[in-house]
Amino acid sequence: MAVVGVGGAGCAVVDHIYCSDADMETVAINTDRASLDKTGAHRRVLLCDRVTRGEGAKGDHELGRSCAITHIDKITESLQGNDIIFIVAGMGGGTGTGAAPVVADISRRLGMITFAIAINPFKFEDGRRRVAREGLRRLRAVAPLTMVMENDLLLERAPESTMADAFAMASAGIEDYIRRNSRKVTSVFLEQLTQMEMRLGEPYGDWPSTETDTVRILFP
Ligand SMILES: Nc1nc2c(ncn2[C@@H]2O[C@H](COP(=O)(O)OP(=O)(O)OP(=O)(O)O)[C@@H](O)[C@H]2O)c(=O)[nH]1
Ligand SMILES: [Mg+2]
């Protein structure tokens, strides 16, 4: 499985996961070169270097979308080798809003189980709310397994903390969500695989009886 961050917020979450030494594959996708260079990830994809001059989509979600479409091949290559994809993107800007639905569409077409986590902008980011709503609608259309995280919740939970601390808290929460869900998907998948092998009448000797044992044995 892999966690794929798209745009600034998505890449911040990926960087957090990469630095926390989690045993998850990470992919960072951005139109902003400086930001991407600072993002820790196993794979990095810079979109539309020539068009955006590596300076980001500057709030233009149509540009974010066309940059992703232009680089379908690069994105496809960065997702290869995974069965489960978790896409993380902030809504309301250009890259995450525009490119995340394209990335989700690619991973779905590759037959990967595709989850998405959309980060909604703060209420005080007035102009971004409408763009965020439209981005979320497009994301859900290709990835029905989309969860929404409200940045406003950070203000409620930790009103005194700095922005950096609040974002770190959000990233840790998202990492936890991904971890729990990937475990669930893996165990359901393995259970079905076991049942399929039983139906096929394969000799399977001392197969473990519990889900956790199955996970431990197949993925030590
Ligand atoms: N939780 C969290 N939210 C963030 C972070 N950075 C930005 N956001 C939120 O995500 C929204 C989208 O911002 P970005 O992800 O930076 O935008 P982008 O996709 O890079 O778009 P462009 O820079 O215009 O190409 C913002 O309006 C913020 O509300 C972050 O590090 N953590
Ligand atoms: Mg950006």
- How distant, in Å, are the alpha carbons of 12, 97, 118, 137, 181 from that of 63? 21, 10, 19, 18, 32
142-169 pLDDT, tens digit per residue, is: 999 999 999 999 988 888 999 999 999 9
Regarding beta strands 2-6 and 25-30, do their DSSP bridges make them parallel or antiparallel, or are they unpaired? Answer: parallel
What is the number of other CB atoms lying within 10 angstroms of the CB of residue 76? 14
- 31 within ligand 1 shell (Cβ under 6 A): yes
pLDDT above 50 for 220: no
Q: Which ligand is nearest to the CA of 173?
A: 1
- 59 within ligand 1 shell (Cβ under 6 A): yes
- 93 within ligand 1 shell (Cβ under 6 A): yes
CATH fourth-level superfamily of 2-218: Tubulin/FtsZ, GTPase domain (3.40.50.1440)
How much is the average pLDDT of 202-217? 42
pLDDT-derived band of residue 197, with 50, 70 and 90 as boundaries?
low
Can you tell me which atom of ligand 1 is nearest the CA of 30?
Answer: 20
- 98 within ligand 1 shell (Cβ under 6 A): no
Q: Which ligand is nearest to the CA of 63?
A: 1
The residues that bridge with 87 in the sheet, in sequence order, are 4, 116
- 92 within ligand 1 shell (Cβ under 6 A): yes
pLDDT-derived band of residue 208, with 50, 70 and 90 as boundaries?
very low
Strand ranges (E), 47-153: 84-90, 113-120, 145-150
| Domain ranges for the chain | 2-218
Closest residue CA from atom 8 of ligand 1: 9
Closest residue CA from atom 5 of ligand 1: 9
Structure tokens of 71?
Answer: 């680089």
**Average pLDDT over all residues of the chain:** 89
pTM to 2 decimal places: 0.89
Q: What is the dihedral of CA 62, 78, 113, 185, to 10 degrees?
A: -130
What's the 186 CA to ligand 1 centre distance in angstroms? 30
Residue 84's φ and ψ, nearest 5 degrees, are -125, 135
Closest residue CA from atom 4 of ligand 1: 9
Structure tokens of 46?
Answer: 């810079």
Apex 129 CA angle, 124 and 134, nearest 5: 170
73-112 pLDDT, tens digit per residue, is: 999 999 999 999 999 999 999 999 999 999 999 999 999 9
Regarding beta strands 84-90 and 2-6, do their DSSP bridges make them parallel or antiparallel, or are they unpaired? Answer: parallel
Can you tell me which atom of ligand 1 is nearest the CA of 31?
Answer: 25
Q: Which ligand is nearest to the CA of 6?
A: 1
How much is the average pLDDT of 8-26? 94
- Residue 134 belongs to what H/E stretch? helix 128-142
End-to-end CA distance of the chain: 15
